[in-house]
A and B are shown apart, each in its own frame.
Chain A
Amino acid sequence: MTLLGLPYNTLVVAVGVAAVGFAAGVVGSLCVLRKRSLVGDAAAHATLVGVAGAFLATGRRDLATLLVGALSAAIAGLAALLLVRRFTRTRDDAATAIVIGVSFGLGITLVSGLPAWGYANSAGLEQFLLGHTAALTAADAMLLTGVACFATVVVTLLFKETTLVAFDAAFAAATGWPVLLIDAVIVGLVAVMVVAGLPAVGAVLVTALVVIPPVAARAWTDRMSTMLLLAGTMGLVAAVVGVLVSAAWPRLATGPLVVLAAAAIFGISFIAAPKRGWIARRLRDAARNA
């Protein structure tokens, strides 16, 4: 079965990755508004350790196993970030950079060492670095769609709470909301979406999936619900463009293409958005100075 000249499998994978793009945009919006844009990056670079670790522990290479490992490692990376913050006087930016560098180094060490250590069938793990959707099956795409739906439903159910914390954590704390718990939910969802984005975008660039669409969407609107929907839609479009272009041009990894599509959407938003866009600002400045 083909549609638009594309094989069935490519289409199913495109749908799965599109769902991930949508959910990542929605979840990322909360993170960007909470001014935690790069927390996802620390989680993302840590995932590689989990991918290699899950393969080492189980000997299996199916997507679900590897992603469970990736999620465990992402959470461990975030825990390491908390430990550094709690027990040392290293500042937050350096702590994030340490987790990014060291966890990625450990992941590279494991992935590179596996063949030499006698794990001959470990080929393919390195596709989690830059993303590669050609190898995904329809079942993998169903799994990704399920995770994306889960994350979107959680944000919908907790819309009021997460919005409140994202905009004004101090007010939320003062009025008795469990800010720490809600923060943990937001960061946990970001970790989940970073992991879900791994197969398509890869550990190095997946942070773009939770940062660029929200930042682009923010240029168009001041309403939270609109921003979430818009960021989700932009993430979805970027993901589909990336998957289809890399399907047509297999030498290219999917991840960079998804990021470039998102960056193009961002560029248009940043320049042309009404009110907050660059042109609108220049016109306002000109009018004020006239």
Chain B
Amino acid sequence: MLFGAATFFGGDPAIHGWAMATAAVVAASCALVGTLLVVRRMSLLGDAIGHAVLPGIAIAVLAGGRPGGLFVFVGAVAAALLTVWLIQGLRAAGGLAEDAGAGVVFTTLFAIGVVIISAAPAGTHIDPACVLAGDLTFIPFDTVTIADRAVPRAFLAATLSFAVLAAAAVATWKLQVFTAFDPAAARAAGVPVAAITAGLLAATAVATVASFDVVGAVLVVALLVVPAAAAELLAHRLHVMALIAMALAVVGACIGYLAAWHFNTNAAGMIAVVLGLEYIAAAILAPDDGVFARAFGRLRLAWRVAREDRLAGVWREEESAARGRSAVAAPSLLERCAAEWLRIDGSLVRDGGTWRLSPRGRRDAETVVRSHRLWEAWLGRHADLPLDHLHPPAEWVEHHLGAAMRRRIEVETGWRQSDPHGREIPPEA
């Protein structure tokens, strides 16, 4: 059996609690760092660092460091910074595109790490399987005693690194935001952009090493990027995004752990799957940017356009009748539905075979027709279009002009009373 955690440790709730808590804290650390990586378009650098810390960890362990200890942390951070230095060096010295450079560097470093571990003498504290998918099995049993309680060492390390990362994030948040959204302006304003970026990379390395025992080197990218990307769909402010990302990560880690327990499989893989489901849910259900919200928004717009077109259509029929003509386009099916709705709504009245406008319907219809004809007047004055080209753009814009915009166009066009076709522009209601 290559992967651990397939055989769980009986049913002792305390042991499961410790393993789950460790996974949750680690996931929160990664989500915090990942938020900045995602908005700075450095997601794949996070992936590269996740793979590339392996040789740093392996060498530090071979040199006598204890997994989870400070020495191993230093080795991993060094490897992470080496990765970034190599990728940037290849670009500067060899003109290599960043993704190609990353593809060369992280695969090479990861391969070095795997070879070191495979060649290491038996009994070394690193298991090649754990490298790929983590191993929570032994975490609850390697404990230290604090205030008469046995606390797993990995949980302490995870909590400590989370505290350090959170403190660093709070202390440098404004600078991080400034650097993330406008690095050029930040540099001009005296922000040490290079140091901020290096700090973020070091933080990525710390979060990666802290989660190494839990998820391994390959799956850490799921913890770094997936909750942050889901949170980005749900939030419009960076600190809100970071908090949502951490919440999603903690929930995903707990549910993933429990599901892995239930299905008797690897916890890290299951956590990644649950985070993926969270992302899919966010992509579908997000209040502003979700697939549903946007489809609903488009439907609502189509319905409003149909209602407004029908009202304006009835208004034009009345106008044509008054001028002794009757050349009006037949309403579409959607517009006929809209007419029925407007009758219930009280904007239209059915009078024998024809529709008439109620006072309220007339006011709404005149607003639409006014928008339409004002836009035609503006186009006729500024766009130098032939007369028969004015109608289609106005037909589209009429649904989007507010009262303030209509007033400005009225001023711009010199308070004209008629549109370029010579028809009257109704007054503002």
Could you list which residues of chain A lie within 8 angstroms of chain B, going by C-beta atoms? 32, 35-38, 41, 45, 84, 87-91, 93-98, 100-102, 104-113, 115-117, 123, 126, 129-130, 204-205, 207-208, 211-212, 215, 219, 251-253, 255-257, 259-260, 263, 266, 270, 276, 278, 281
Q: How far is the CA of A115 from the CA of B38 in the complex (A)?
A: 36
Extra inter-chain contacts (13) besides given A94-B228, A112-B2, A215-B100, CB under 8 Å: A32-B100, A35-B97, A36-B99, A37-B97, A38-B103, A93-B41, A98-B225, A98-B279, A100-B47, A102-B222, A109-B260, A116-B265, A253-B114
B184 at the A interface (CB under 8 A) = no
Q: How far is the CA of A180 from the CA of B224 in the complex (A)?
A: 32
Interface hits, B223-275 → A, CB 8 Å? 223-226, 228-229, 232-233, 260, 263-266, 268-273, 275
Question: What A residues does B222 contact at CB under 8 A?
Answer: 98, 100-102, 104-105
Report B41-66 CB contacts with A as 1/0, cut-off 8 Å.
Answer: 11110110001000000000000000
Question: What A residues does B207 contact at CB under 8 A?
Answer: none
Residue among A97, A107, A266, A276 making CB contact with B221, cutoff 8 Å: A97
Residue among A97, A211, A253, A256 making CB contact with B47, cutoff 8 Å: A97
B426 at the A interface (CB under 8 A) = no
Q: Which residue of A lies closest to B260 (CB)?
A: A109
Q: List 27 A-B contacts (CB under 8 A).
A: A32-B100, A35-B100, A37-B97, A37-B102, A38-B103, A41-B103, A88-B233, A88-B283, A88-B291, A89-B233, A90-B283, A93-B43, A97-B225, A100-B222, A101-B47, A101-B224, A101-B272, A105-B276, A109-B266, A111-B2, A112-B3, A113-B6, A207-B103, A256-B115, A259-B110, A263-B107, A270-B90
Asked if A266 and B265 make an inter-chain contact with CB atoms under 8 angstroms apart, the answer reads no
Q: Which residue of B lies closest to A83 (CB)?
A: B283
Nearest-Cβ distance from residue B34 to partner chain A, whole angstroms = 9
Nearest-Cβ distance from residue A272 to partner chain B, whole angstroms = 12
Q: How far is the CA of A251 from the CA of B224 in the complex (A)?
A: 32
Question: What B residues does A123 contact at CB under 8 A?
Answer: 1
Asked if B133 and A91 make an inter-chain contact with CB atoms under 8 angstroms apart, the answer reads no
- Given the contacts A98-B226, A256-B111, A251 and B119 also touching, CB distance less than 8 Å: yes
Q: How far is the CA of A286 from the CA of B279 in the complex (A)?
A: 52
Nearest-Cβ distance from residue A197 to partner chain B, whole angstroms = 12
Asked if B229 and A94 make an inter-chain contact with CB atoms under 8 angstroms apart, the answer reads yes
Asked if A37 and B226 make an inter-chain contact with CB atoms under 8 angstroms apart, the answer reads no
Residue among A90, A100, A110 making CB contact with B229, cutoff 8 Å: A90
Asked if A113 and B266 make an inter-chain contact with CB atoms under 8 angstroms apart, the answer reads yes
Nearest-Cβ distance from residue A134 to partner chain B, whole angstroms = 14
- Given the contacts A41-B103, A102-B276, A211-B100, A112 and B6 also touching, CB distance less than 8 Å: yes
Asked if B99 and A109 make an inter-chain contact with CB atoms under 8 angstroms apart, the answer reads no
Shortest 10 CB-CB contacts between residues of A and residues of B: A105-B272, A101-B222, A108-B269, A113-B265, A102-B276, A112-B266, A211-B103, A109-B269, A256-B111, A208-B107
Q: How far is the CA of A90 from the CA of B289 in the complex (A)?
A: 10
Asked if A97 and B46 make an inter-chain contact with CB atoms under 8 angstroms apart, the answer reads yes
Question: What A residues does B272 contact at CB under 8 A?
Answer: 101-102, 104-106, 108-109
Question: What A residues does B128 contact at CB under 8 A?
Answer: 130
Nearest-Cβ distance from residue A33 to partner chain B, whole angstroms = 10
Main secondary structure of the interface of B (DSSP, over half): helix
Question: What B residues does A251 contact at CB under 8 A?
Answer: 118-119
Q: Which residue of B lies closest to A282 (CB)?
A: B93
Q: Which residue of A lies closest to B97 (CB)?
A: A35
Q: Which residue of B lies closest to A88 (CB)?
A: B283
Question: What A residues does B103 contact at CB under 8 A?
Answer: 37-38, 41, 207-208, 211-212, 215
B369 at the A interface (CB under 8 A) = no
Asked if A108 and B43 make an inter-chain contact with CB atoms under 8 angstroms apart, the answer reads no
Question: What B residues does A109 contact at CB under 8 A?
Answer: 260, 263, 265-266, 269-270, 272-273
Nearest-Cβ distance from residue B32 to partner chain A, whole angstroms = 16
Nearest-Cβ distance from residue B202 to partner chain A, whole angstroms = 20
Question: What A residues does B38 contact at CB under 8 A?
Answer: 91, 94
- Given the contacts A89-B289, A102-B279, A126-B3, A259 and B111 also touching, CB distance less than 8 Å: yes
Asked if A205 and B41 make an inter-chain contact with CB atoms under 8 angstroms apart, the answer reads no
Q: Which residue of A lies closest to B108 (CB)?
A: A263
B302 at the A interface (CB under 8 A) = no
- Given the contacts A102-B222, A252-B115, A108 and B268 also touching, CB distance less than 8 Å: yes
Asked if A260 and B42 make an inter-chain contact with CB atoms under 8 angstroms apart, the answer reads no
B352 at the A interface (CB under 8 A) = no
Residue among A37, A110, A129, A260 making CB contact with B99, cutoff 8 Å: A37
Question: What A residues does B353 contact at CB under 8 A?
Answer: none
Question: What A residues does B221 contact at CB under 8 A?
Answer: 97, 100-101
